[in-house]
């Protein structure tokens, strides 16, 4: 069990603005605006014990953050002015959102892969349907089927791949 002094040192004794210089995993290099002091291992998360469930907001480099400074000289980001990436994880799901799009995984399945697989399967279905020839009645409208296939398999898939990473 931690001593009372160690527990109290975990809470900020001072709040300051800082500029983010570099971000690596769950720490960043910052420079305090009021004093110019550099802190090389500023924690991005205030809760570092929980490795299974987390929500992390990563600041953009060169942006301004509000940090809590503790008595032992360490710092933790409390708020960000600009977001580079948001990461969420719990027991079953993982979600990343950044400038390139978003990625969503749950129970070992990736949303982009599932949706792309569906679109590919739909395209194969359209190809097989276009082969159908009816001797009595109306044969399927192959150009219309191919147009629908093109819209879903190509146009929608390109849009989906821009959104999902």
| Beta strand ranges found along 47-154 (DSSP E) | 54-59, 64-69, 75-80, 83-89, 93-98, 101-106, 109-110
The answer to whether residue 28 sits within a structural domain is yes
Torsion angles phi and psi, residue 101, rounded to 5: 135, -155
| Last residue within a domain, chosen from 36, 56, 91 | 91
Residues whose CB is less than 8 angstroms from the CB of residue 90 and which lie 6 or more positions away in sequence, other chains included:
52, 53
The tally of domains found in the chain comes to 2
Contact yes or no for 28/40 (Cβ under 8 A): no
CB atoms within 10 A of CB 157: 18
**31 shares its domain with 84:** yes
Domain span at 126: 109-163
Is 99 inside any structural domain? no
Does any domain span residue 132? Answer: yes
List per-residue pLDDT tens for the chain, 165 residues long.
Answer: 556 666 666 666 799 999 999 999 889 999 999 999 999 999 998 776 767 888 999 999 999 999 999 878 889 999 999 999 999 999 888 999 999 989 999 888 888 888 888 888 888 888 888 888 887 778 788 888 888 888 887 887 788 777 777
């Amino acid at each position: 069990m931690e001593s009372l002094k160690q527990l109290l040192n975990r809470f900020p004794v001072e709040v300051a603005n800082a500029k983010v210089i570099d971000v690596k995993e769950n720490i960043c290099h910052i420079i305090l605006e009021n004093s110019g002091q550099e802190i090389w291992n500023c924690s991005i998360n205030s809760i570092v014990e929980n490795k299974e469930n987390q929500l992390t907001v990563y600041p953009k480099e060169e942006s301004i953050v509000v940090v809590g400074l503790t008595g032992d000289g360490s710092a933790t980001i409390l708020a960000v002015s600009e977001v580079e990436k948001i990461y969420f994880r719990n027991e079953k799901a993982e979600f990343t959102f950044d400038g390139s799009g978003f990625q969503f995984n749950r129970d070992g399945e990736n949303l982009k892969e599932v949706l792309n697989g569906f679109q590919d399967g739909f395209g194969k279905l359209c190809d097989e349907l276009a082969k159908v020839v009816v001797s009595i009645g109306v044969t399927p409208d192959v150009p219309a089927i191919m147009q629908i296939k093109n819209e879903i398999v190509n146009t929608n898939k390109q849009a989906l791949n821009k959104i999902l990473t």
